């Protein structure tokens, strides 16, 4: 039994795992999960992950959930190049530092742009709350300023001259706003050049293949969303409108 990865590429953590595995030539079976089409489409992932969500990994009888845990497992099992998660204790600590900071900052703000501009209208039928988008963009701008000044500084990548897991986790998150028309890179040359270097490091073809769905996110309005899922999520999303 080989390695199986349960992924929905609309999800930024799933994209980081997909890019990491492909760029390191890790052999795996891609189990495509379409979360917005309802429980039946995520049934396989539910059997693998007790958390019933993606990403999920199955390696023989071993199963694993959570993006960071999966990335670290793959890097160790397949002995990927050291720059991804350095053996140097201080460089490794810098990767850990960013991954810890990421969740309460970049990840807490960037995905909300997609929810407000695309998913809330799709699930609730309510118009775009422009004041909410402005609020989210202000929070994201603060996080991006911290990202540039604290982590990126004048370096090519977050921990120096080579790409690491920190860069990969960061870039997939920052592509969410881009997908819904909020180009956060346009007026930030340092951030824009970092993005270019990350694309080059993993390969532009792979990068844009992984992001094809998010860069065409408006097509999501044409899919048939599972009625049960819509009923469950609509009240939650309506709270975001208040």
Q: Divide the 242 residues of the chain into consecutive groups of 10 and give the mean pLDDT of each group.
A: 92 97 97 74 51 85 96 98 98 97 93 85 75 88 96 96 98 94 94 98 98 84 70 72 59
Same domain? For 74 and 114 the reply is: no
At residue 240, the pLDDT reads 61
SS3 content of the chain, % helix, strand, coil (to 5): 65, 10, 30
Burial of 98 (C-beta count, 10 Å sphere; 0-12/13-18/19+):
buried
Q: What is the pLDDT of residue 119?
A: 81
Q: Are 186 and 174 in contact (CB under 8 A)?
A: no
Indicate the residue among 49, 80, 111 that finishes a domain.
80
Whether residues 137 and 208 share a domain: the answer is: yes
124 and 188, same structural domain? yes
Can you give the CATH number for the domain in which 169 is found? 1.20.1050.10
The C-alpha atoms of residue 230 and residue 227 are separated, in whole angstroms, by 5
Dihedral (C-alpha) 240, 6, 95, 78: value to the nearest 10 degrees?
A: 180
The predicted structure's pLDDT at residue 191: 97
Q: Is 68 in the same domain as 111? A: no
Same domain? 21 vs 123: no
Tell me, rounded to whole angstroms, the distance of Cα 168 from its chain centroid: 9
Domain of residue 64 covers: 3-80
> Which of these three, 41, 62, 80, is where a domain ends?
80
pLDDT of residue 114: 86
Select from 46, 80, 114 the last residue of a domain: 80
Whether residues 138 and 193 share a domain: the answer is yes
* 175: its two tokens: 């592509």
Q: What is the pLDDT of residue 126?
A: 74
Predicted pLDDT of residue 93: 98
Q: Is there a single domain that holds both residue 118 and residue 198?
A: yes
What is the total count of domains within the chain? 2
For residue 40, what pLDDT is reported? Answer: 45
């Amino acid at each position: 039994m080989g390695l199986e990865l349960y992924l929905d590429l609309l999800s930024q953590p799933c994209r980081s795992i997909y890019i990491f595995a492909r760029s390191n030539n890790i052999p795996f079976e891609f189990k495509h999960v379409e979360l917005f089409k309802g429980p039946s489409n995520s049934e396989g992932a539910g059997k693998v992950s007790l958390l019933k969500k993606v990403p999920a990994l199955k390696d023989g009888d071993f199963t694993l959930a959570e993006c960071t845990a999966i990335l670290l497992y793959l890097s160790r099992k397949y002995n990927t190049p050291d720059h991804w998660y350095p053996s140097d204790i201080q460089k490794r600590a810098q990767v850990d530092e960013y991954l810890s900071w990421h969740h309460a900052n970049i990840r807490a703000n960037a995905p909300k742009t997609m929810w407000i501009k695309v998913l809330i209208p799709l699930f609730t039928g309510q118009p775009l709350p422009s004041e909410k988008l402005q609020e989210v963009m202000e929070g994201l701008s603060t996080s991006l300023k911290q990202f540039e000044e604290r982590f990126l500084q004048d370096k090519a990548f977050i921990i120096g001259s080579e790409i690491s897991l920190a860069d990969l986790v960061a870039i997939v998150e920052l592509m969410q706003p881009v997908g819904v028309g909020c180009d956060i890179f346009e007026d930030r040359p340092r951030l824009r050049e970092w993005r270019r270097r990350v694309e080059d490091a993993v390969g532009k073809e792979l990068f844009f293949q992984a992001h094809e769905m998010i860069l065409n996110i408006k097509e999501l309005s044409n899919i048939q969303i599972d009625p049960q899922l819509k009923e469950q999520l609509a009240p939650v999303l309506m709270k975001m409108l208040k």
